[in-house]
């Protein structure tokens, strides 16, 4: 059995959706910005993040991503 034929172990996570990956990125970026000491518009950041997440979710539902 070759390495490419091996099935993932039960402990390995399945690939996450693009929207899930983007949300995780946004949260880490949000934390980075909060801790940077430089001000930023938090409500605007959250609004932009939600717009992108909504679009990604629609694309995922359509099977495009």
pLDDT tens, residue by residue, 36-55: 988 889 999 999 999 999 99
56, 19 contact by CB (below 8 A): yes
Please say if the pLDDT value at position 9 is more than 70: no
**Does the predicted TM-score (pTM) go above 0.95?**
no
Q: What is the CA radius of gyration of the chain?
A: 17
Q: How many residues in the chain?
A: 65
The pLDDT value recorded for residue 64 is: 63
DSSP assignment string, the chain: --GGGPPPPTTSPPPPPHHHHHHHHHHHHHHHHHHHS----HHHHHHHHHHHHHHHHHHHHHT--
């Amino acid at each position: 059995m070759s390495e490419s034929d091996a099935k993932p172990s039960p402990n390995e996570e399945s690939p996450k959706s693009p929207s899930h990956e983007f949300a995780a990125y946004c949260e880490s970026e949000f934390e980075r910005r909060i801790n940077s000491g430089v001000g930023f518009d938090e409500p605007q950041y959250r609004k932009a993040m939600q717009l992108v997440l909504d679009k990604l979710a629609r694309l995922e539902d359509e099977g495009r991503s």
